[in-house]
Amino acid sequence: MANKIANRKVICDTLLEAAETDKDIVVLCSDSRGSASLTPFFDQYPQQSVEVGIAEQDLVSIAAGMASCGKKAWAASPASFVTTRSYEQCKVDVSYSNTNVKLIGISGVGPKAALAILSVGTPEHLTMAVITGDENSADQMAAFCNQFDKVCTSLGCAVIYCHHHSKGAQGGKRSMDRASGSGVFARDPDALLDMIELEVTDAIREQRQNNAACRIAQAALRQAGVLDKVGQDDLCSRKLSMDACMNLLSTARYNEVLEAVGRSDTAEQSVTAWRIEGTLREFPSFPALNVWFEYPVHHGDVSGVLADILPEAAIPSWQRNLSKSGKRSKSKEERVQDRNDEIEEAFNMSAAEHGETTISELAAYIGKSEDTVRRRLKEHGGFWVEDGKVGEKQSRKKEDSALQRICK
């Protein structure tokens, strides 16, 4: 399915979000804020916006100058202009000078899109975002690739395409097959690089959390000058290293270590694992590279723990119904029963003498929001809810029956 959100809008929304906390971000345009969809940024952050007019060479040089002063410059201009009229400025002011400038080339499909790529045949690097036509259109992408080949041939550089693919069975194919969905990528490039996200098991995730906690504890003990009082084996155990911190550090310092470990555990949940594979047309293939992505940096998997993780399509069918913990995935009915059991346990533990409790108490007990608790109570069907109070429907029926007998 084609992407329904314009790339330009995504760029603008991302810059708007980043600029809320980073005042060093500046956006420059060459009379192109409208066509680049950057008008909302200029309206919200006028002090971080620069309009240079129809002067693409000045656009790049001013962006490089601001970057040399510590700013993070993003410069947007029609791709056919910024890659030709500003070629010298891109090469000297940005690439050779290694300034922190991002160039956004807008507009152009087919032959025009080829001009949206700028390649400088030097050891220095130039970063550029490219906005082209519909990637799912074979004719548009074929026209792009054909024209792009001409540009790369004239510059004497190799061609490397970065192309995403869907999850599932696509991950089990060769890199050349994965990149040929539109029928154009596989035949054009000299090199194909493919990144596959790997499913990290709970055991591996827990191991990484424990290792990080041990490093934090060891650093705190070393800083306090008491590291030699702890055995090497204890330093490799999360529990024992934390016990050592509790016994050898001050209460205040120990609490700081606990907070640091908590932040580390939370951060670990957002770390992802990837496998990079590739095909080189005229060179021997290279072995797959496994990496961890801890925003914004990729780190090689030096431990080798990711080597045994298979892509989804390569997992045997008998294993596909297992959860990441290695146990069989629960059915819908089993998950509903688990939720019902949890809400019943929470009610029994928090209900007062009169057999009632509150939404807030239930939420605190199971560690969920009050809205989630309300949904689970409705799903269970055995509780009544009034003005934030909760009770069992069966108990209310008994009370009503007793009251009726008394009244008679």
306 Cβ contact partners less than 8 Å away, ≥ 6 residues apart? 198, 273, 275, 290, 292
Give the single-character DSSP code of 388. T
Q: What is the mean pLDDT of residues 387-397?
A: 77
**Count helices and strands in the chain by DSSP H and E runs:** 16, 13
pLDDT per residue as tens digits for the range 35-47: 888 899 999 888 9
Provide the sign of the torsion angle of the four alpha carbons 361, 365, 370, 372, taken in this order. Answer: negative
211 Cβ contact partners less than 8 Å away, ≥ 6 residues apart? none
DSSP per-residue codes, 79-135: HHHHTTTTHHHIIIIIIITT--EEEEEE---THHHHTT-----SSS---EEE--S-T
What burial letters (b/e) apply to 31-68, b meaning 16+ CB within 10 Å?
ebbeebbbeebbeebeebbbebeebbbebbbbbbebbe
The secondary element (H helix, E strand) that includes residue 149 is helix 138-155
Check pLDDT > 90 for residue 292.
Answer: yes
Contact 257, 220 (CB under 8 A): yes
Q: By percentage, how much of the chain surpasses pLDDT 90?
A: 21
Check pLDDT > 90 for residue 85.
Answer: no
Cis peptide before 296 (omega within 30 of 0): yes
Residue 119: the pLDDT is 39
The two tokens of residue 265 are: 């555990």
